[in-house]
């Protein structure tokens, strides 16, 4: 039950911070403490990031992450003491 509570807290924090349902690669990088180029690397390798959606079919189409997926990802990857 504690995990669900943490997820809700993280979600509410992200929702109030960004005031929208999705964020881009640069914002994700900020939240994860990594560079945007590392986000690109993780996308190309298909690992290390929350689920994302590609807006379009072009190779360089915009990629977005929902804050609910990010909250879930952070809940499962961050260890709390």
List CB contacts of 19: < 8 A, sequence separation 6 or more: none
**8: three-class secondary structure by DSSP:** helix
Q: How are beta strands 53-55 and 62-66 bridged, if at all?
A: antiparallel
Report the pLDDT value the prediction gives residue 1, as an integer from 0 to 100: 54
Q: Determine contact, residues 50/73, Cβ cutoff 8 Å.
A: yes
pTM flag (> 0.75): yes
Report the pLDDT value the prediction gives residue 81, as an integer from 0 to 100: 53
For domain 2-77, give the CATH number.
1.10.10
Domains of the chain, by residue range, sit at 2-77
One digit per residue, the tens of pLDDT, for the chain of length 81 reads: 566 788 999 999 999 999 999 999 999 999 999 999 999 999 999 888 999 999 999 988 999 999 999 999 999 887 655
């Amino acid at each position: 039950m504690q995990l669900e509570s943490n997820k809700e807290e993280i979600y509410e924090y992200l929702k109030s911070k960004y005031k929208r349902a999705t964020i881009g690669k640069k914002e994700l990088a900020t939240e994860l403490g990594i560079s945007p180029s590392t986000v690109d690397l993780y996308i190309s390798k298909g690992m290390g990031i929350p689920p994302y959606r590609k807006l379009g079919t072009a190779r360089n189409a915009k990629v977005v992450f929902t804050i609910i997926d990010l909250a879930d990802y952070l809940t499962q990857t961050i260890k709390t003491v």
